[in-house]
Structure 1
Amino acid sequence: MTVWKSVVDTTSPEFTANREAMLEKLAEVEAEHAKAIEGGGEKYVERHRKRGKLLARERIELLIDEDSPFLELSPLAAWGSDYRVGGSMVAGIGVVEGVECMIIASDPTVKGGAMNPHSLKKGFRAADIAERNRLPTINLVESGGADLPAQKEIFIPGGRTFRDLTHSSARKIPTVALVFGNSTAGGAYLPGMSDYVVMVKERAKVFLGGPPLVKMATGEESDDESLGGAEMHARTSGLADYLAVDEQDAIRLGRSIIRRLNWHKQGPAPKPDHEEPRYDTEDLLGIVPPDLKVPFEPREVIARVVDSSDFDEFKPLYGSSLVTGWAQVHGYPVGILANAQGVLFSEESQKATQFIQLANQNDTPLVFLHNTTGYMVGKSYEQAGIIKHGAMMINAVSNSTVPHISVLMGASYGAGHYGMCGRAYDPRFLFAWPSAKSAVMGAQQLAGVLSIVARQAAQSRGQEYSEENDTAMRAMVEGQIEAESLPMFLSGMLYDDGIIDPRDTRTVLGLSLSAIHNGPVKGAEGFGVFRM
């Protein structure tokens, strides 16, 4: 076995300082998670309970198998915006009757579960994950439709929600709607386009237009039940396949539907005899320094994530600022690319390209562990072909068809973010540690570049350059870029699938790999033209 021999000193002042800084950042993230969990706030939660209804997370808890995990996705959607943290929706992967499912629950304590631009993006991301990983989708529905003041950002792109449902069905990926309350206007098409529909008696109300709208449009007098009640849809319209007596019964019926799917994974099963890492995952708190300019050893992270801490390194003496190699995580074989010293040179780019091709040759998923400041710049590097070599790596990442998972541990700047399979390169999952930062470049570098450009522009016009204004400009830009580089800002924008505790990295990777293997795992049969 090729077990990494750890040299981490957990008693050193550096380790202790790193650990305290990481715990402080984790506390900030947990405080924001708490805001998502509280939904619309105490007043609206209490009102919901008085109506005899379960909360979104309570419905999920009853739906998934007892003591099974729930991998929540994008819990900080809408962070930093005028909307409630969480985007009025809970989404994640849970096990129902032994089947991994994408579960999407509207949160009726937040404006009646109305969709805002962030919940729309969150729903799109959940649908992408479900389709690409072949996960049945269960929608727990109680929503008043679009948040009308934001309709200009919702109406036109929102139609994709229903298109995604039909695409899943056409690909033989089942969709289930459990309707607990309102599902009106465009939202009526959510159960209308699902393969299976359960409605709760005297609770579910599904119609294109409610009684007031019908009165205005046609002059017809009607009531909720005759127009769109659960019993009417079960007995008359046929929209409901099952009529539940209450919420618990609806969840029971939903579980029964999943049990009868005859569902089988198409990817290879994990090896059953895998062992835990030889080193304590608690150590992950003290490995990454708060100053991302200080390098850290990614092999120490790998040793606390992979089975038996066994990592078979590929090309260890070449392109040493990028670590590549083979391992297992919870019995699933993986190829790992991890940034060591931050900068990607031509050698690292070529090494990564070959490694990605090899992973596609043997149908092995890839895990990217980010801590990069980007590709190297400078005259000698440009003349040596850094652009074409970086392009080779990005080409390989773009055309690789084995599943990719990205974890942002530290910096993820510039085109290095692209080469390491950032969001635009469609990884199956992308998670961030609280220590992560991502931007076109570091805040100081970006402010410095703007300063140089402004100084040169003033010189070309023959004007005197104000050093006082320059100092103020640099401080403003550095503050803005620093704020926009932080993981909570990026998570709020849906640029990752969640901020995770470093200690949970192995578990999150294992859950992600298990979900991925619902579908086939197959490498690319060809790549684009590599500029040599």
Structure 2
Amino acid sequence: MNHSERFPLFESRLNPRSAQALQRREDLLARIGEWRALEQRAADASAKSLPVFEKRGQLLPRQRVALLLDPGRPWLPLCPLAGYGVDTPELDKSVPGAGVIAGIGWISGVRCVVVANDSGINAGAMQAMGGEKTWRAQEIALQNKLPFVYLVESAGANLMRYRVEGFVKGGALFRNLARLSAAGIPIVTVQHGSGTAGGAYMPGLSDVVIMVRGRSRAFLAGPPLLKAATGEIATEEELGGAEMHAGISGLGEYLAEDDRDAIGIARRVIGGLDWKPLDAGERPAPEPALPGDDLLGLMSTDLRQPVDMREVMARLADSSELLEFKPLYGAATLCVQARIRGHAVGFISNNGPIDVAGANKATHFIQWMCKLGQPIVYLQNTTGFMVGKDSEQGGMIKHGSKMIQAVTNAARHVPQITILCGASFGAGNYGMCGRAFEPRFLFSWPSARTAVMGGEQAAGTMQMVAEAGAARKGVPLDAQALQEQREKIIHNFERQADAYYTSGQMLDDGVIDPRDTRAVLAECLDICADARAREVRPLQFGVMRM
């Protein structure tokens, strides 16, 4: 790139050694430590089953995934906190992950979506959020034309916690496999253990199935249910063993001797797809001039403290070069062109509420990025759209609606990626491409907080409602009850706004260390660019077994 074509170098005003920056760094490192401990909780829970797996001659699920992946290549975990506080509301007992390991990684030089039942925890029985986590992984594979690799070993649905809606909605797992296959995207399943009832359709809807001798099981009804339903008596091997499926039913294409052999076969199958990257990784990638480590000292865990989000962008962008769009108009809304590992992108972020001018500027910028065909990266840090008499009379509703129209429909033209950095409040969550607007990827920093409004504001609103109601009725207020209500509302809002809670609810694709943001964005942009360049051969139907 010629010097005349380069964007201006951002001049940082951050002093990373200031008392404020050092305190912010310390606070954020403490939050990162909490998150890492939560992720480790799932790994430790699964590892307790190691003696059982070794006795059976099996590998633990995380060992299988590690053996499947190319060493030294990026691994992007998906939704590792899913289910935290959901399946077990007591947070100190809740094991994140929803019994599923998922991520995007490289297998034999091919980038793939990988999903594995964590059978080290409750024998891989499906948890409430496990289905949603798997659906999200399937959706990512479909959107981005990535082969889908499934390592199956599950006790099936937890009948002690049976809920009819889980059964009905669970059909989406099979629908998505059929859609993936019909879209021309390869599906490879390694059946490490049992797949019963609905779980048997996982291999049934796959393009290639690898089974393990003496360990794989796939049947619509296992021996106990078969006997209860029909009175017939049969062994597991007769009903759904690996040798039977490889030699008689035709459900299995390959018969492996053990887990390691099965993983080796899977790597060879993936390597034979001829699905190498087409576009990704071919661009020059100068590093930012400003260190990414500074990001720890930028964002406060107290979101009332202001942050110049240009400082964040400059630590993500190649050479820390930024070209700001309409810098003097709607100044609290930032629209900036930059490059991340050679990918041209448009950043949108906030240095305050989104006002009328800011909404108009963002709408114009989104249309400009769509015309250029450049992905949009939203860095959320906003209290929402501006409120007040002047704002309402200025048309905030209609101008905010224009921005939401642009965000919604831009997805048809360019990839959109969202990072929740700080505040994500009110309709600002929507206007800045929150989860409901289906960005291609969405990740959270540990400092992020998401809510319709702050807890104090919610409590204050309800107090005014109570006071007005009491005045209308002419009755005195119970001050103690009002205070208890206030504390309850604040606690409820603050608990649910926390990034780890929202990640547990699958409202993002995972929490990331701010220092890893550039690498995560670069990987996502590579994935999006490769998907755009790749031609697939869609079929009228998915691959159907003989």
Q: Is the 8 A contact 1:36 1:76 kept in 2?
A: no
Percent identity (aligned)? 44
1:322 aligns with one of 328, 333, 336 = 333
Name 1:434's counterpart in structure 2: 446
The Cα shift of 1:142 comes to 0.4
Q: Which of 370, 375, 383 does residue 365 from structure 1 map onto?
A: 375
Matches within 5 A, 1:24-423: 24-40=30-46, 42=48, 44-81=49-86, 82=88, 84-152=95-163, 153-263=165-275, 268-269=279-280, 271-340=282-351, 342-400=352-410, 401=412, 402-423=414-435
Partner in structure 2 of residue 525 of structure 1: none
Structure-2 separation of matches of 1:169 and 1:372: 40
Instruction: Report if aligned partners of 1:365, 1:521 keep a CA contact under 8 Å in 2.
Output: no
Residue 446 (str. 1) matches residue 458 (str. 2): yes
Give the counterpart letter for 2:405 in structure 1: N
Q: What is the DSSP-based 3-state SS (H/G/I as helix, E as strand, rest coil) of the residue aligned with 1:77?
A: coil
Note the alpha carbon deviations across 1:123-173, whole angstroms, 9 max, x for none. Answer: 111111111111110000001111112331421000110000000000001
Alpha-carbon contact 2:283-2:343 (below 8 Å) kept:
no
Distance across 2 between alignment mates of 1:323 and 1:509: 19
| Post-superposition offset of 1:310 | 1.3
Q: Could you tell me how far apart the structure 2 residues matched to 1:255 and 1:516 are?
A: 23
The counterpart of 2:494, out of the listed 478, 482, 496, is: 482
CA distance in 2 between counterparts of 1:269 and 1:104 reads: 23
Aligned-partner Cα distance in 1 for 2:50–2:443: 30
Task: Establish whether residue 10 from structure 1 lines up as the match of residue 21 from structure 2.
Answer: no
Aligned counterparts of 1:201 and 1:270: Cα–Cα separation in 2: 40
SS in 2 for 1:222: coil
Between the two proteins, the alignment pairs up a number of residues equal to 519
- Structure 1 counterpart of 2:368, which letter? L
CA contact (8 A) 1:281 1:503 kept: yes
Structure 1 window deviating more from structure 2 (492-501 vs 471-480): it is 471-480
Per-residue Cα deviation, 1:215-249 (whole angstroms, up to 9, x for no partner): 22233221111211111111111000111111111
Deviates more, 1:457-466 or 1:182-191: 457-466
Distance 1:60 1:357, change over 3 A: same
Q: Which runs of 5+ in 2 are unaligned?
A: 1-5, 89-93, 535-546
CA contact (8 A) 1:270 1:332 kept: no
SS of 1:344's equivalent in the other structure is coil
| 2:542 paired residue number | none
On the 8 A contact 2:190/2:210 being kept in 1, the answer is yes
Structure 1 runs not aligned, ≥5 long: 523-532
1:266-303 CA-to-partner distances (Å, cap 9, x unmatched) read: 6x545522201111111110001221011101111111
User: How far apart are 1:265 and its partner, in Å?
Assistant: 5.0
What is the CA distance between 1:39 and its match in structure 2? 3.3
SS at match of 2:73: coil
SS of residue paired to 1:289? coil
Distance 2:50 2:474 in 1: 64
Aligned-pair Cα RMSD in Å? 1.5
Aligned 8 A contact 1:325 1:337 in 2: yes
Please state how far the C-alpha of 1:264 moved relative to its aligned partner: 5.0
Q: TM-score, normalised by structure 2?
A: 0.93
Aligned to 1:23, the other structure's residue is in SS state: helix
Partner of residue 22 from structure 1, selected from 28, 35, 39:
28
Q: 1:492 aligns with which of 485, 499, 504?
A: 504
Misfit runs of 4+, over 6 Å: none
| Cα distance change of structure 1 residues 41 and 251 upon mapping to structure 2, 3 Å threshold | closer
Q: Distance in 2 between matches of 1:75 and 1:313?
A: 35
How far 1:467 moved relative to its partner? 2.9
Segment drifting more, 412-421 vs 356-365: 356-365
